[in-house]
Chain A
Amino acid sequence: MLFNSFDFVFFYFIVTILYYVLPYKSRWFLLLAASCYFYMAFVPLYILILGFTIVVDYFAGIYIENAVGKRRKILLICSLVANIGILAIFKYYNFINDNISILATNLELSNNIPYLNILLPIGLSFHTFQAMSYTIEVYRGKQKAEKHFGIYSLYVMFYPQLVAGPIERPQNILPQLHAKHEFNYANLSAGLKQMAWGFFKKLVVADRLSIYVDTVYPNPELHNGTTVVISSLFFAIQIYCDFSGYSDIAIGCAKTMGFDLMTNFKRPYFAKSISDFWSRWHISLSTWFRDYLYIPLGGNRVKISRRFLNLFIVFILSGLWHGASYNFIIWGVLHGVYQIIGLAIKPYLAKLETHFSSFFLQIWNFLKGTMVLSIVTFAWIFFRADSLTDAFTLISNLKSFGKMPFLGSGINQFGHCILAIILLFSIEYVMEFKPNFKLINNSKPLIRWASIMALLFIILVFGVFNGGQFIYFQF
């Protein structure tokens, strides 16, 4: 079930009303049943896979807590193998098999390993990572094993964040699933406003830009460099609004029932360095990799060369997390390289900046922001292109930059894209640099109501209502 569908609107209102109407003790059951229904709206059978990881990790958590010595580690490894095994089968099996075939062909051998003709369960990487964080935290002794099977299932399946995050940690969610949430107007209001903002990002910006991007990217050979630059910038904004819009709707939706989910995005295109970008982009995933991979690898407390290697490993795996293709690997490699360069030049830049006047510093920061946006957008080419060949065709077309760009299905469509971008960045600029200037949260009711109405009518007048899929569902 897509957030941007009428089915979800009905579903959301029914579940939220029932949540407050039902007695506290049966709410977990309502949420779990609703989450199952939500998930089964995609491919019903795949709930069995989810069920398998839930059962494995539920018992693993309890056994790990009760075990001592090496047994704890063995149990953790068993749980991780089960989770990663599911991921490997559904997400990476055919990719690995493809590579074996290529290798075998080069060695003049034949590969008889059969291909799996299966669809990737929706949001598999998200809920698998969330489930893994639970067993790791129990192993580390930072989280008590959850004894209530229903509550644990809900931890993995809580419908707002089930298919595209934020990837939560047990310390944040499990206590909230046990707590009694009373009806609270402030929560409801804040949640609905955040949902409206998410719908703005998705319907007005992401789905509008996708019309242009989806025309250019599948036919890279037909487009000149100017079009490639525009469509890549559009995609950079599209994927941000698509994914952060989803997160806003998820966080807002949970908030209306009294749950606080973690922040997942903080206006990443206002970042002034690549590390700043990653502290603002998909925060729940980047902190997951930090906590469960980067720090165990040694984190910042190792030699600089080892630190570079660790960063590189993290970003390659982050690329692979998104999908089993070389496009995602190259995307990860590029970000790894960006991080390493950023880290290497950081002290020199800091030293240089001490000589700048405040005015020049502002220009410098703007230039740094533009540089971050440019290199991030360049990496998105690999992320969006249908194949490596397409990505390289797009890049080679950049040499014809300066020619008249393709305008999509007319000036109307292109004009809507530009309008959507202007609206987005105007609002985000205010949020970033004038945090005290409130619109939908203004203390004066007239301004607050006028802003809310303006937001809703902008969605109604300029939004795209074709039920566009969320990009991150495929991961």
Chain B
Amino acid sequence: MQKISLKHFIKNLLIFVLVIFTLDRVFGYVLEKFYFSLKTGQFAQNTYALNEAAPDILIFGSSRALHHYSTPILSNQLGLSVYNAGRDGQFLPYYCASQEVILERKIPKIIILDVNIWELGPNESKYFKLASLLPYVNEHPLLRKYTAEISTYENLKLISKTYPYNSTLLISVYDYMNSDKLPQDDRGYYPLVRTVSEKEFNIYKDNQEVYNQKRAKQDIKIDPKAVAYYRQFLKKTATLNIKTFVIISPTILTEPNSKEKSLLKEITQEYKNVTFLDYTSDTLYNNQFQLFADEFHLNNIGADIFSKNLVSKIKEE
């Protein structure tokens, strides 16, 4: 009885492994084709940034970079090609990875790195978010050292052909179905076209007050790995002698000085090619809720004003 059971199990196990292997290849192939066929949206932008972009000015950062730096304005007024490689919800490890890949192809004249005030704080999710690089690992093997940050066995998981497209299907379908509604600009910039109301602004003010009080009581910790990535990013620009701007772009409310913010500034001073610009206390933007789309992002009007002002700064430098 036990022998029959064992024989039956081994037979089924072999069939199971074979079916899983085949289906993984098939699903992986379909998902890969679908992913790389997208012409608009976040994934298409990722693909363009990592596989094709070779501009004179490169912008890195999170969603605040993506929505704050108008590539048409920067490009027209500076007479240089610009690409905005800002990505929603990303942090320094991602900026470093994309910087390394793009700089292998072309060395830009100027790099703009938009940093969040909490960029150097501990946040495990910044490493998990490197999963968005998984579809590109085959084409850019140097990304493996970054994807290895996601988990110990990440590169082992890449035996699966489906796994790199984990959590991409929904947005791929969304982007495919909305391709005519999504921004078509191939320079990466994604303007937000809504405006914060006064009522919303007042709520943000109240919330911010409570949040700042709470933060003031907290022991602010620094993530040494994030600091190392920050230095790595700046060191690379220094080695290649690229003029670099590290910018904390405008915020709807004044951001109080913090340990993270001071450290961000302090580190840039170690590099001669780097200029640090902090707009978090700039009255041109603070409290001007008409220039913002939400609590964290400038709208298209705000982004245009900010980009024009930035052009002057870049020209000054």
Binding site for B on A (CB under 8 A): 6-7, 182-186, 188, 211, 219, 221-222, 224, 393, 409-412, 415-416, 419, 449, 453, 456-457, 460-467
Question: Interface digits, B30-64 against A, CB 8 Å rule (1 contact, 0 not)?
Answer: 01000000000010000000000000000000000
Say yes or no: is B6 at the interface (Cβ < 8 Å to chain A): yes
Shortest beta-carbon contacts, A-B, top 7: A221-B210, A6-B153, A412-B171, A185-B5, A466-B128, A409-B89, A222-B207
Q: Chain B at the A interface: mostly helix, strand, loop or mixed?
A: helix
Q: Which of B106-114, B138-146, B161-169 lies at the binding interface?
A: B161-169
Given contacts A409-B89, A412-B171, A449-B19, contact A457 B166 (CB under 8 A): no
Interface size class of B (residues with CB under 8 A): 35 or more
Given contacts A6-B152, A453-B19, contact A465 B88 (CB under 8 A): no
Q: Do A457 and B27 touch (CB < 8 A)?
A: yes
Q: Do A457 and B162 touch (CB < 8 A)?
A: yes
Interface residues of B in 160-186 (CB under 8 A from A): 160, 162-163, 165-167, 169-171, 174
Given contacts A416-B167, A460-B160, contact A467 B151 (CB under 8 A): yes
Q: Which of B20, B89, B167 contacts A462 (CB 8 A)?
A: B167
Say yes or no: is B156 at the interface (Cβ < 8 Å to chain A): yes
Say yes or no: is B29 at the interface (Cβ < 8 Å to chain A): no
13 interchain pairs, CB-CB under 8 A: A6-B153, A183-B2, A185-B5, A221-B207, A222-B211, A411-B171, A415-B170, A416-B167, A419-B170, A456-B20, A464-B167, A465-B131, A465-B166
Q: Do A410 and B167 touch (CB < 8 A)?
A: no
CA distance A467 to B124 in the complex (A): 11
Q: Do B166 and A221 touch (CB < 8 A)?
A: no
Cβ contacts under 8 Å, B295 to chain A: 222
Tell me how far the C-beta of B146 lies from the nearest C-beta in chain A, rounded to whole angstroms: 15
Q: Do A411 and B19 touch (CB < 8 A)?
A: no
Cβ contacts under 8 Å, B151 to chain A: 6, 465-467
Cβ contacts under 8 Å, B27 to chain A: 457, 460-461
Of all chain B residues, which has the CB nearest A464? B167
Given contacts A6-B156, A409-B88, A412-B171, contact A463 B166 (CB under 8 A): yes
Of all chain B residues, which has the CB nearest A409? B89
Cβ contacts under 8 Å, B174 to chain A: 411-412, 415
CA distance A464 to B129 in the complex (A): 11
Say yes or no: is B150 at the interface (Cβ < 8 Å to chain A): yes
Tell me how far the C-beta of A381 lies from the nearest C-beta in chain B, rounded to whole angstroms: 18
Cβ contacts under 8 Å, B210 to chain A: 221, 393
CA distance A393 to B2 in the complex (A): 60
Given contacts A185-B5, A410-B89, A466-B151, contact A461 B169 (CB under 8 A): yes
Say yes or no: is B8 at the interface (Cβ < 8 Å to chain A): yes
Tell me how far the C-beta of A204 lies from the nearest C-beta in chain B, rounded to whole angstroms: 10
Tell me how far the C-beta of A351 lies from the nearest C-beta in chain B, rounded to whole angstroms: 48
Tell me how far the C-beta of B46 lies from the nearest C-beta in chain A, rounded to whole angstroms: 13
Q: Do A188 and B9 touch (CB < 8 A)?
A: yes
Say yes or no: is B25 at the interface (Cβ < 8 Å to chain A): no
Tell me how far the C-beta of A408 lies from the nearest C-beta in chain B, rounded to whole angstroms: 9
Tell me how far the C-beta of A293 lies from the nearest C-beta in chain B, rounded to whole angstroms: 39
Q: Which of A6, A221, A410 contacts B88 (CB 8 A)?
A: A410
Tell me how far the C-beta of B44 lies from the nearest C-beta in chain A, rounded to whole angstroms: 14
Given contacts A461-B162, A466-B150, contact A183 B207 (CB under 8 A): no
CA distance A211 to B124 in the complex (A): 12
Q: Do B166 and A460 touch (CB < 8 A)?
A: yes
Q: Which of B5, B12, B19, B88 contacts A184 (CB 8 A)?
A: B5
Of all chain A residues, which has the CB nearest B162? A460
CA distance A184 to B5 in the complex (A): 6
CA distance A15 to B150 in the complex (A): 27
Cβ contacts under 8 Å, A183 to chain B: 2, 5-6, 9
Of all chain A residues, which has the CB nearest B129? A409
Of all chain B residues, which has the CB nearest A462? B167
Cβ contacts under 8 Å, B163 to chain A: 460, 465
Tell me how far the C-beta of A301 lies from the nearest C-beta in chain B, rounded to whole angstroms: 48
Of all chain A residues, which has the CB nearest B295? A222
CA distance A466 to B125 in the complex (A): 9
CA distance A412 to B170 in the complex (A): 7
Of all chain B residues, which has the CB nearest A456? B20
Cβ contacts under 8 Å, B2 to chain A: 182-184
CA distance A186 to B1 in the complex (A): 12
Of all chain A residues, which has the CB nearest B172? A412
Q: Do B211 and A219 touch (CB < 8 A)?
A: yes
